Structure formats: structure tokens, C-alpha cells
Amino acid sequence: MNQSAPVMPVMPAPSPEGMIFLIACIIIVVALLLWWAFSDERKRGPVLPLILLGAAISSFLIEPVFDNTLLYWFPTENPLSVYSAYGRTIPWFIPIGYAWFIGGAAYLLQRRFERGISVKQAMSYFFALVFIDWFAVSVCEWLDLSAFYGNQPFHFFGSPLWFSFADATGGFVLGAALYALLPHLSGARKLLLLFLPTFIYGGVLGSTTAPVAQALNSGWSETITCLYGAITIGLCCLLVFVISYILAKVSRRQ
């Protein structure tokens, strides 16, 4: 029998905690840009700034949609809000967080892939991304800045583990896409990087979270919901492994 639909919590945003988290996100983005500006990375053109901006833009297009399907909430009364859509009030640290985690991670991974990589190394980077994402999203939950609700599987301490696998997969695949596409993007064609995160991250997150999204919104039992959460994690690991295998094979040919 289906259960009643989960109800999104309603509460005002904690003020100092939100500002502290926003400043931390800004510092990370500024640090990435300074590294690019004062190192040899700048000789590669505006790839890093474009991919950071593209990742931030993608948040305006896809964040409210996935917040609804994956049962994620933000306080509706929030002095740090940048816009409201689809029943969600999105704070500034979301587009900036997209920039440093999705865009920044993708850029750094792409640079690592260029030097050649093994399957084991690629998978280790992926699991590091999973942990970083889990910690960042968990901090938001611990500080009541945002959180998942409903019958979330693998929601033991901090944010649900399945989401960090999906989020990290999006950043990993975006890094692989950058590695494959950048040699073919010269001059004004690099502006296509402004749209790449929306297609890659949005597509990966939508496909890998489809099983758990169905379970969360169908009122299924906890056992079935956990099974579908495990399927989401399995899809993420499968996709990353296949891409890692291809990357390793290309590295051996170089």
C-alpha cells in the first residue's frame, strides 16, 4: 500500500551558519581562479573560468527539478536566496557550490586524465569525490541549511550516501567529457563549455538517480527503497568503471 507523500519541512534559514558556508564556497572558487590566473594553466585559455561559470549556470536550470524528484529542501525564508522556482528557494551557495565541486573537480580530473591514468587511480579519484560531496552536503544538513527528507535510503549520518555517488559521478563524467572535447574546441568554440555541465551533469544525475527517485516518490517499503538506492549506487559505479577503463586504455596508447 502506498504511503502518504513526504512533506517538505518549513523553517527559516539559520543566518550566521549560512553566511559562513557561503563564504567558504566563495573562497574555494576564488582560490581556483587565482591558481589559474597565476600559473601556467592560464596559457590553456579560459577553460577553467568557463567551466566554473557553466556549472553555476547549470544549477539555475536543474537544481529545483532534482530537489523535487529527490526530496531535497531549503528553508523558504532565506536572506541568502538567489531565486525561487518549482517550490524551492535556492540560496547563493548552490550555484557557487556547483562551480567549485562540479566545475572545479571536472577541470582537475581532466588535467589528471591528460597525464595518463590507470583504472585503479581513476576509481580512487572517484571515491575521493564521493567523500568530499558527502561531507559538503552533510555540513549543510548538520547546520540546517538544507537537507533530504522522506524515506531516504542509506541516510545514516549526514546526507544519504546514494546521492554523493550520483553527484560525484556527474563531476567525474564531466571531467572525462572535457578530456575528450577540449582538443576540438578552439577560439570561440570554447564558449560551448558554458552549456556542457548542464548536459553532462544533468543527464548523469537524471539517469543514475531514476531508480531511487521512483522509490522515494512511490511510497514503497523501506526494503524496496533501499534496493533502488543500491541500484542507483551500482549504476554510478558501473558508469565510472567503464569510463575509467576507456581512459586507462587510451593512456596505454599514448
Contact predicate 93/108, CB 8 Å:
no
Looking at residue 3, its pLDDT comes to 57
Distances in Å between the alpha carbon of 74 and those of 62, 129, 204?
15, 23, 23
Looking at residue 179, its pLDDT comes to 97
Q: How far is CA 188 from the centre of its chain?
A: 27
Distance CA 110, CA 108 (A): 5
Looking at residue 15, its pLDDT comes to 79
In the chain (254 residues long), the average pLDDT of successive 10-residue segments reads: 64 82 97 97 95 98 96 91 94 97 97 96 98 97 94 94 98 97 93 97 97 96 97 98 96 79
89: phi then psi, degrees, rounded to nearest 5: -105, 110
130: phi then psi, degrees, rounded to nearest 5: -60, -45
Instruction: Tell me the sheet residues that pair with 221.
Output: none
SS3 readout for the chain: CCCCCCCCCCCECCHHHHHHHHHHHHHHHHHHHHHHHCCHHHHHCCHHHHHHHHHHHHHHHHHHHHHHHCCEECCCECCCEEEEECCEEEECHHHHHHHHHHHHHHHHHHHHHHCCCCHHHHHHHHHHHHHHHHHHHHHHHHCCCCEECCCCCCCCCCCCHHHHHHHHHHHHHHHHHHHHHHHHCCHHHHHHHHCHHHHHHHHHHHHHCHHHHHHHCCCCCHHHHHHHHHHHHHHHHHHHHHHHHHHHHHHHHC
Q: Nine-digit cell at 105?
A: 573537480
Task: State the chain's maximal CA–CA distance in angstroms.
Answer: 60
Prediction pTM value = 0.94
Q: Which phi-psi region, left, alpha or beta, contains residue 90 (left: φ > 0; alpha: ψ -120 to 50)?
A: beta
Looking at residue 4, its pLDDT comes to 63
Looking at residue 76, its pLDDT comes to 87
